[in-house]
Structure 1
């Protein structure tokens, strides 16, 4: 068997206390899912069992939630943006979210609103999509280095899209400033003092995918996963999904691992220190959706309390995951997974081929009885780079 060593730093969460949050519970997730179910074209994204890959790696099962099939948008992010915008409009026009419909709100809104956001690509596309459905305006700011394909996807939805010369976190601050000057509504998936309501709604919206996954596992005869690998940028998805899962299964019954690129590992560093640590600089990782240096305080609280471990890894781990999912073993289904989507599977593959495989498996509590849930959060949202990685061997596992 081949052996190669990719950089994977694993830190145990010394601050774990298992405290759950009423904001990110099964009840809140099911309310969000009820909203999503009313959107034309809604259906749960697939949950695939990679039995042949699991056998190779020596574990019982790998379950991949494929979010590339979410409303034709190639990523999960619209779950948060659409739900937050709906909640915002319900509050503004005194409507009940359980009675919300896009058609009703279109006739209710007298003056067009503008929703502003910062994005690495997928969140902005979701906000632009929701604004278009409602006949409203969207202005989307992106950090420097953003792929043109991701810009074009937002423009095609009728939104204005501006690429700045700043990193993600500085672009968020700029967006807030411009939005305040223009009277726009900011729909952002990170939080700060005085801005928590909308990020909470976004995180609750993300939990729809977790509610689907639990339902799908039950129908597959799986009582619960032993492990979940959740990638993090600001930690909104990871916090929202983990909050739901620990409410369902109990924090002590789930080995949860938060994964980040080493060039933007603010959650990892925060996990080591036990308090929020920000990361600055360009954060030039291929995992564009995770290139965030300042944790969402709402997500961080859930992760600090309930995550088992934190991982910081090099970009080649994500590239390996993209190849493994896109070139399946045996009868496993093919999953087209982008850079940020594939990193959880990449960790599993990288450990299998690592010279210290057994020690790493033990460190993560992986054995022949392990059932691992991973979320492929995006498809090939940058198709050119996807082919450079999968076809041309960019970011190789070995040199």
Structure 2
């Protein structure tokens, strides 16, 4: 057995109140838009029945986002939907009638879309701008992996690595955008900037819409639990808003998990009054896509109202998840999952291999009747680190 740092807090602020903005209706609208994109296909939903049996639960279902439009991550779902909505407002179009070719042929003056990213979001924005014939400029915090920079530049975007952390880079880009008349496409909100992050979050919900459709098509049991990883919380809230309404907020156990170096959602959920708590510093976690220290206020309302648990884990946990998914039990399909994508699976595996498994299972309301939905939000977006973890045992749990 192994020892892992796993801090679990049941959400004492839970109300079950649904969001009118992150709803079934809005999620289906975003999903319908994505289905109209050239090359669209739903990403696979993997039924890891052997892993579920080993861990003592009824089912483990994993949405594999490494197949999303050849971009190896889910983030484009938010970026392209937000940019399309922004352009619709700019030119007086309806999102239902959005036409890529019309945009390219009839709009002479190009816009520049600017964003801050740890990698996947920036590539999604760059891809969307490329598809729409627009410009993109992407800033990354210090320590960005070379491959992630190359991925962004491959779509014709300018990519600049700063000497600041993620949250400070966001503030710097906001100032530059105002000075240069760029359109910011960021999945966190601040005063006066809410429409675009709302659209981005609604775009993320397509993953959940697809998952529920696939569960029905494959005759699988509906999830009793969902584990959602959080940076600023945008993806988690966009997905949870839909699932809470679709499956019932009181029936679904929604577990929000973060790396302990950037656990602003966990700390917010642990606060006495449910207020947002920020985390500063370098936030040097292996899960760079989750290395965000300030909750998105649009996200926090949903997560506070509809999550069942907030969890903070050390970096050995996502590393374990990467190895488990990449080396499956007989009968289960292999999933190549990056550091941020594997943290949910890592949590389940760490619980299973812990010497206090029974106590941890009880804390998360997991038992032999539980069906857990996980989102593997990225593939090996940093191939060098992926091999260091999966091949060479970096961040070993032993």
Note if 1:292 corresponds to 2:281: no
Q: Which residue of 1 aligns with 2:28?
A: 30
Deviations 1:326-373 (A, max 9, x none): 000011000000000000000000010101000101111111111000
Q: Which residue of 1 aligns with 2:352?
A: 352
Cα distance, 1:223 vs. partner?
4.7
Q: Which residue of 1 aligns with 2:320?
A: 320
Cα distance, 1:222 vs. partner?
3.2
Cα distance, 1:250 vs. partner?
1.2
Contact 1:38–1:101, Cα closer than 8 Å, also in 2: no
Aligned to 1:84, the other structure's residue is in SS state helix
Q: Which residue of 2 aligns with 1:175?
A: 173
Note if 1:260 corresponds to 2:258: yes
Aligned to 1:253, the other structure's residue is in SS state coil
Cα distance, 1:106 vs. partner?
1.1
Cα distance, 1:219 vs. partner?
1.4
Contact 1:13–1:272, Cα closer than 8 Å, also in 2: yes
The residue correspondences of 1:13-92 to structure 2 (distance < 5 A) are: 13-92=11-90
Q: Which residue of 1 aligns with 2:188?
A: 190
Aligned to 1:339, the other structure's residue is in SS state coil
Contact 1:246–1:254, Cα closer than 8 Å, also in 2: yes
Deviations 1:267-307 (A, max 9, x none): 00000011100000000001000000000000111000000
Aligned to 2:250, the other structure's residue is in SS state helix
Aligned to 2:347, the other structure's residue is in SS state helix
Q: Which residue of 2 aligns with 1:337?
A: 337
- Unaligned segments of structure 1, at least 5 residues: none
Aligned to 2:321, the other structure's residue is in SS state helix
The residue correspondences of 1:1-399 to structure 2 (distance < 5 A) are: 3-273=1-271, 274-398=274-398
Cα distance, 1:104 vs. partner?
1.1
Cα distance, 1:216 vs. partner?
0.6
Question: Quick one: distance in 1 between partners of 2:248 and 2:106?
Answer: 42
Question: Quick one: distance in 2 between partners of 1:278 and 1:58?
Answer: 36
Question: Quick one: distance in 1 between partners of 2:219 and 2:66?
Answer: 24
Question: Quick one: distance in 2 between partners of 1:348 and 1:139?
Answer: 38
Aligned to 2:258, the other structure's residue is in SS state strand
Contact 2:221–2:371, Cα closer than 8 Å, also in 1: no
Question: Quick one: distance in 2 between partners of 1:189 and 1:324?
Answer: 30
Cα distance, 1:110 vs. partner?
1.9
Contact 2:119–2:289, Cα closer than 8 Å, also in 1: yes
Task: Supply the RMSD in Å over aligned alpha carbons.
Answer: 0.6
Question: Quick one: distance in 2 between partners of 1:288 and 1:347?
Answer: 17
Runs of 4+ in structure 1 off by over 6 angstroms are: none
Once the two structures are overlaid, the 10-residue window that deviates more, 77-86 or 94-103, is 94-103
Question: Quick one: distance in 2 between partners of 1:169 and 1:141?
Answer: 11
Question: Quick one: distance in 2 between partners of 1:308 and 1:69?
Answer: 30
Question: Quick one: distance in 2 between partners of 1:257 and 1:354?
Answer: 18
Question: Quick one: distance in 1 between partners of 2:40 and 2:218?
Answer: 21
Contact 1:117–1:141, Cα closer than 8 Å, also in 2: yes
Cα distance, 1:134 vs. partner?
1.0
Contact 1:128–1:157, Cα closer than 8 Å, also in 2: yes
Contact 1:276–1:300, Cα closer than 8 Å, also in 2: yes
